[in-house]
Structure 1
Amino acid sequence: MEQIVNLDSVAQYNAIRGVETLHPLVSVMDLNGLHPMGTRRYHFNLYAIYLKELKCGEMRYGRNLYDYQEGTLVFIAPGQMLQIERRPDAPASPKGWALVFHPDLIKGTPLGRHMPDYSFFSYDANEALHLSEKERQIVVDCFVKIQYELGHAIDKHSKTLITSNIELLLNYCLRFYDRQFITRDDAHQGVLEKFESLLNNYFNSGKARENGLPAVGWCAGQLNLSANYFSDLIRKETGKSAHEHIQARVIDLAKEKMYDDSKSVSEIAYELGFKYPQHFTRLFKQRVGSTPNEYRTLN
């Protein structure tokens, strides 16, 4: 059976890399000259951000290789599994930067409260962040600032300054991903149209009555995207989340079905994938401003 290494602490990760632990909850390192991670699977109970500057190995998330090249950021969240596969032509020493921090570091901080906003920690293998040279320099500057704080004697300001700089780095990454959604348009071309077609086929085929409303995760999987990346991409395209988009499609279909007097509101609800008609009535009133029966009477 393949060996799995559980990374539970910053000190454990530092030991693998061969660096001193300056802070028990966070570490940042220039990878040049450090020990490479061995060829095995790693289960992270830490947050990790990698800036890859050289193809020194392959990272596999799930069944897919990370879509990375020189100047690419990779994000790992607690609970995720990463597999390292050494390339035969890989140099002895990796090149790039790594930031790892324990979830306890950000508890009770502004960063901890906003961590769910950084959805790219759950993006899939083919959705890494590709940086321009100017963006790469900004990222490296953030790493250097955190490194400076770790070299400073720990005092009452340390936690605030370290977490603030991590938050600054992640906010820049939000901006860079917004740019990538635009500049990598070829990779995203037609996603919205495919999404619309997927929903149409789902409802027209009767799958909704059998399987319920289509979930965002299911739609993303059909389009070979992670749920978070898919949702963020749809929001950039339409201003609405994928969930809101699905609800809007359901309401449009419901309005059409209301003109068929032979069907009761309950029958329409079941056809659209609702398990309970009252849930359909509640959503309809929220989105339309009237109940299904009121809408049917008015029209």
Structure 2
Amino acid sequence: MHTLSSTQQIPVHAFEPDEAVGNKSFTIAQSEGGLVYEPNLLTPHRKAYYLMVFLKHNRGRHWVDMVPYDHEDNIFYFTTPHQILIKEEPSPTWGSHLTFTDEFLALQQNAALRELPLIQNPYNGHQLRLSAADVAVVEELLAKIQAEYTRPGEWQHQMLSAYLTVLLTYLSRLYTEQFTAAEPSDDKLLLKTYQAHIEEYYRELHEVGAYAGRLHISAGHLSEVVKAQSGKPAIKHIHERLVLEARRLLFHTQQSVKEIAFDLGFSDASYFNRFFKRETGVAPAEYRTSIRKMYQ
């Protein structure tokens, strides 16, 4: 599996609109055994958009944030923006894939989609297994979306949104059935806001007080609510996000530990080493060696 050199940044693949149909924030494409060689997918990368893939038939393996997924028949794979992805090798594919952007979800008619479990992805899942009945429903909806997609007109956006809402709602029901942990409560708005701020600022802000200031509340109140809603101290959420990004970079790139430390906002590489070992039980260099041996 490819890794990036110490001088290479993990590239972010921008959304590519389909100029043929004039849709600037949503695409759908089908493959009937096609083998498209795209070298940029075979090295670690991020996508600046949502990707949903129905695989009717395919063999191979891809990775999402260091987790390998062996391809099976009748699987629905999904990823959210800015996760690190890599495909091991090109292979013939039968199926469909959808892409759409945050701007697409921001449209008034699509606002409800943001709240669906498949989009929120509270359990950080990336695949759904489909029964024969599920496959029939999904294929029918994808066919309707494909037909509407190639038929521009004044009602196209509304029809695409309607069909996509049904598809993602159906898949969200499967999501809640297949990820059986207790459902997140509706009383987690502050927790979600805090986590969203961490996602945006974790490289710059490492203290709970800094986030409390941005949220215009006291650090004590933020800590109390986050602990009550998540069962973890507020600082733990920051630390887990830093560790996740450190693991991504250690696994997928050749950046030195010192370079990774500075990239994550640590001014002292030795402190980063101690931080990582305290959080994971191993030093960064040891983690890199062991995780790469595991997947060689």
Q: What TM-score bracket applies, with the shorter chain setting the length?
A: 0.5 to 0.7
Deviation at 1:37, TM superposition (A): 4.0
Return the alpha-carbon distance in structure 2 between the equivalents of residues 83 and 112 of structure 1. Answer: 30
What is the correspondence of 1:1-299 to structure 2 with a 5 Å cutoff? 1=4, 4-11=10-17, 23-32=23-32, 33=34, 35-38=36-39, 39-66=42-69, 68-86=71-89, 91=91, 93-119=92-118, 122=121, 128-152=127-151, 154-181=152-179, 233-235=181-183, 276=220
Return the alpha-carbon distance in structure 2 between the equivalents of residues 158 and 181 of structure 1. Answer: 33
CA deviation string 1:43-100 (max 9, x = no partner): 11111101123333211011111265211111112222211111xxx74x22221111
Aligned position for 1:271: none
CA deviation string 1:181-213 (max 9, x = no partner): 47xxxxxxxxxxxxxxxxxxxxxxxxxxxxxxx
1:175 to 1:110, Cα distance in 2 relative to 1, 3 A: same
Return the alpha-carbon distance in structure 2 between the equivalents of residues 139 and 46 of structure 1. Answer: 21
* Residues 106 and 112, structure 1, Cα contact 8 Å, conserved in 2: yes
Deviation at 1:34, TM superposition (A): 5.2
The code of the aligned residue for 2:134 comes to: E
* Residues 22 and 151, structure 1, Cα contact 8 Å, conserved in 2: no
The code of the aligned residue for 2:26 comes to: V
1:21 to 1:161, Cα distance in 2 relative to 1, 3 A: closer
Bigger drift between 111-120 and 166-175 goes to: 111-120
Return the alpha-carbon distance in structure 2 between the equivalents of residues 34 and 121 of structure 1. Answer: 31
Return the alpha-carbon distance in structure 1 between the equivalents of residues 142 and 222 of structure 2. Answer: 52
Return the alpha-carbon distance in structure 1 between the equivalents of residues 125 and 177 of structure 2. Answer: 17
1:40 to 1:56, Cα distance in 2 relative to 1, 3 A: farther
Deviation at 1:180, TM superposition (A): 2.6
1:117 to 1:108, Cα distance in 2 relative to 1, 3 A: same
Deviation at 1:21, TM superposition (A): 5.7
Return the alpha-carbon distance in structure 2 between the equivalents of residues 148 and 66 of structure 1. Answer: 30
Deviation at 1:162, TM superposition (A): 0.9
* Residues 52 and 70, structure 1, Cα contact 8 Å, conserved in 2: yes
Deviation at 1:102, TM superposition (A): 2.3
The code of the aligned residue for 2:36 comes to: H
SS at match of 1:234: coil
SS at match of 1:53: strand
| Structure 2 alignment gaps of length 5 or more | 189-218, 229-296
1:124 to 1:234, Cα distance in 2 relative to 1, 3 A: closer
Return the alpha-carbon distance in structure 2 between the equivalents of residues 45 and 278 of structure 1. Answer: 30
* Residues 50 and 96, structure 1, Cα contact 8 Å, conserved in 2: yes
Deviation at 1:148, TM superposition (A): 0.7
* Residues 68 and 128, structure 1, Cα contact 8 Å, conserved in 2: no
Return the alpha-carbon distance in structure 1 between the equivalents of residues 24 and 223 of structure 2. Answer: 48
Deviation at 1:276, TM superposition (A): 4.8
How many positions carry a matched residue from both structures?
A: 190
1:50 to 1:155, Cα distance in 2 relative to 1, 3 A: same
- By relative contact order (CA 8 Å, sep 6+), the higher-ranking structure is 2
* Residues 7 and 42, structure 1, Cα contact 8 Å, conserved in 2: yes
Return the alpha-carbon distance in structure 2 between the equivalents of residues 67 and 175 of structure 1. Answer: 23
Deviation at 1:42, TM superposition (A): 2.8
Return the alpha-carbon distance in structure 1 between the equivalents of residues 126 and 75 of structure 2. Answer: 10
1:278 to 1:158, Cα distance in 2 relative to 1, 3 A: closer
Aligned position for 2:233: none
Deviation at 1:279, TM superposition (A): 8.3
